[in-house]
Structure 1
Amino acid sequence: MHGKAALGAALQPGRHPGTIAAMTERRTHLDPRAVVLLLLCCVLWGLQQIVAKATLPLMAPLAFAALRSALAALLVWAWAGWRGTPMWRADGTLPGGLLAGVVFGLEFICIYLGLGYTDASRLVVLVYLAPFVVAIGMPFITPTEKLSPRQVGGLALGFAAVALAFSDGLGGHPAGSQRWVGDALAVLAALLWGATTLTIRASRLSVAPPEKTLFYQLAVSAVVLAVASAVRGEAWPSVWPPALWASLFFQSVVVAFASYLAWFWLVRHYPATQLSAFTFLTPLFGLLFGWVLLDEVVTPELLLALGGVAAGIWLVNRPRT
C-alpha cells in the first residue's frame, strides 16, 4: 500500500499533486488498456488483505509486514536507479518523507493487527473511509479545494456506511467476539492512510518523483514495523512453507511494487478523476474474495455499507461541471 498515497492522491477532490496533475491531461479518456490495468489493480488491492489474513498462521503479522515493505523498497530503489530517477538529491523532501513513512508504518500496524480480530472483507470496506478523510482535510491545505454540496453529501453517505459496518461488528456474534477491535483498527488505519496522503500533499513530496515518494513510505515503514515487531516479541518462523514464500512474493513484488508502479503510470497518462471512479471496486473485490476464499460471512449490513462507501467515493470524486 502502499503507493497508497498515490491512490489517495487520486481520491481527493479538485486538483492533484504537482507534477502528477500536469501529466494527467495527456489523454482525456480511458482507453481499453487503461481500463484493463485499472481493473487488475483493483483486483490485486482487494485480494491483498485476503492473502495477508491467510498468512497470519504462517508468520507473525508485523514481522511479515516489515519484510514485505523492505523487499518492496529495494525493488523501487532498483527500478529508480534503472530509470535514472534521482533518489538522494537534497530537495527538501526528507522531513515530509520521514513523517509520511512513519504514518504509513503505523497504518500497516493497524491493518495487520486488525486482521487478527476481524474478517478481511470487512477490513477492506472500512479502510476505504480514507478517501473521505482526504476530502475533508484538503481544504485546510489548499483553500481553493472547497467541498461542494454534492461532495458533502458523498462524505455523509460514506461515513454513514462505515458506521453501519462498524455497528454490525458489535452484535450478533458469538460471546467473547472481539471483531469490534479489528473494525476499530481498520478505521484507525483509514485515518492514517488519509493522513499519509495529506502529508504528501502538504509537503515537498507533492512535487517529488513518485518513485521517491513510494520509497520513503516503504523504507521508513519497514523500520517502524520492524521495531514494533521487536517490541511485541514476535519470532520469525523456523520453517518457510511454499505458501509463505508465495504470499511474500504476491504482497511485496506484485502488489507493493508492480501494482503501484502501474498506478503511477496510469495517473501520469490519464485523468485522475476518471481513474478514481474505479477505485470503489477494490472493497467490492475484497468482500468477494473474502467470501469465496476464506468463507467469510457477508451480512446484509455489510453489503449496504459497501454500497454506501462506493456511492460516497463516486460522489466525492465525480468531476465538477
Structure 2
Amino acid sequence: MKTTPRPIDATALAIMLGLCMVWGGQQVAVKLAVPVVPAVLQAGLRSVVATVLVGAWMLWRRQRLITGDGTLPAGILAGALFSLEFLCIFVGLTHTSASRMAVFLYSAPCFTAIGLHWTVPNERLRPMQWLGMVIAFCGIAVAFSDGSGADLASTWPGDLLAILAGVFWGMTTVVVRASRLASAAPSKTLLYQLAVSAVLLCALALATGNVHIGPMTSTVWISLVYQSIGVAFASYLIWFWLLTRYSAARLASFSFLSPLFGVTFGVLILGESVGWRFGCAVVLVFAGISLVNRRR
C-alpha cells in the first residue's frame, strides 16, 4: 500500500544537507587519492567495497539478492552506464579541478529530462523547462571559457569528461525510470549498478595496467573509506530511505547544493581558484536546472 509522501521537515532538511556535503566532497576525495591509487582502479575498488556492504545489508534485511523479476537486463545496462559515469569522473579529475567537475557533472538533470521526454509519456518537457535547458547549457559554455588559454588547454579534456559523466548519469536514471527497475527495491537497483561497475572497472584497470599503488598514507586511506563506505554505500542507502518517506521532487531540489559544496571544498582543501566568469556560470547552471525540475 502506497503512502502519501511527507512534507519536508527538519529531519529531512538536516539529512539532505549532510548528504549534499558528502556528495560535494567526493571529487576532492578522488583528487587526493589519485597520485597514489590510479583513477580507474580507485573507482573499481570503491565499487567492490560498496557491493559487499550493500549485499550484506540486503541479507541482514532478509531481501533476496537474486529473483526472477525480469530486472536483470535493465540492471546490467544501468550498471554499465553507471560504470561509464564514474570512469569519466575519476579519469576526468586527473585533467580538471574538483570545482569544475562538480559543476559540469550536475548538468545531469538536464540530460535526464531530455531522455525522459522521449521515453516516458508523462515526463514531457514544457516550454519553461526547455528554456531552463538553454540557460544551463549557456552556463556550461561560460564555464568552459573561464581561464587563460593555457588553463583551458589543460582542463578541457577533463571538463568534457565531466559533461559525459552527466550524460551517462542521466541515461542511467532514464533506464531505471523506463524499465522494470522502476518497481524494484531501491537496494537491488543500487546493487546492480555497484556490482556491474566493480567487475567492469577492475577489469579495465587490469587490462590497461593501471594497478600500481604507491605508498599509502592516512589521507589516501581516509579518501578510499570516504568514497566506498561514506558515499557509495551509506549516502546512497540513506537517499533511497528518504525517497520512501518524502517527496522525490522536493528532495531533488536540495541536491543542487552539492556542486556548491564541491566548489567550496575544492577551494578550501585543494586551493583551487575560481574566476568571476566561473561564478556566473555556476549561477546560470543552477538557474537552468531549477527551471528544468520545476513542477507545474
TM-score by length of 1: 0.89
Q: Give, as a single letter, the amino acid of the residue that structure 2 aligns with 1:136.
A: I
Unaligned runs of 5+ residues in structure 1 are: 1-18
Residues 208-239 of structure 1: CA deviation (Å, up to 9, x unaligned): 10000000001100111112212221133253
Structure 2 counterparts to residues 101-140 of structure 1, below 5 A = 101-140=79-118
CA drift of 1:312 comes to 1.7
Structure 2 counterparts to residues 178-217 of structure 1, below 5 A = 178-217=154-193
In the alignment, structure 1 residue 159 sits paired with structure 2 residue 137: yes
8 Å contact from structure 1 (residues 277, 313) kept in 2: no
Residues 4-32 of structure 1: CA deviation (Å, up to 9, x unaligned): xxxxxxxxxxxxxxx9xx55x331x1110
* Partner residue, 2:198: 222
* Partner residue, 1:146: 124
In the alignment, structure 1 residue 252 sits paired with structure 2 residue 231: no
Unaligned runs of 5+ residues in structure 2 are: none
Whole-Å Cα distance in 2 between the matches of residues 179 and 79 of structure 1? 39
Whole-Å Cα distance in 1 between the matches of residues 239 and 285 of structure 2? 21
Cα distance change, pair 305–238 in 1 and its aligned pair in 2 (3 A)? closer
* Partner residue, 1:16: none
8 Å contact from structure 2 (residues 116, 174) kept in 1: yes
* Partner residue, 2:59: 81
Residues 232-276 of structure 1: CA deviation (Å, up to 9, x unaligned): 211332533222221111001111111111111111111111111
Whole-Å Cα distance in 1 between the matches of residues 123 and 214 of structure 2? 52
8 Å contact from structure 2 (residues 101, 162) kept in 1: yes
CA drift of 1:308 comes to 1.3
Whole-Å Cα distance in 2 between the matches of residues 155 and 176 of structure 1? 24
* Partner residue, 1:26: 5
In the alignment, structure 1 residue 274 sits paired with structure 2 residue 247: no
Whole-Å Cα distance in 2 between the matches of residues 87 and 187 of structure 1? 33
* Partner residue, 1:242: 218
8 Å contact from structure 1 (residues 139, 145) kept in 2: yes
Whole-Å Cα distance in 1 between the matches of residues 25 and 59 of structure 2? 30
In the alignment, structure 1 residue 309 sits paired with structure 2 residue 285: yes
* Partner residue, 1:63: 41
Residues 132-172 of structure 1: CA deviation (Å, up to 9, x unaligned): 0011111211122211222111111111111211232xx50
Whole-Å Cα distance in 2 between the matches of residues 238 and 26 of structure 1? 48
TM-score by length of 2: 0.96
CA drift of 1:175 comes to 7.1
Tell me the SS of whatever aligns to 2:123: coil
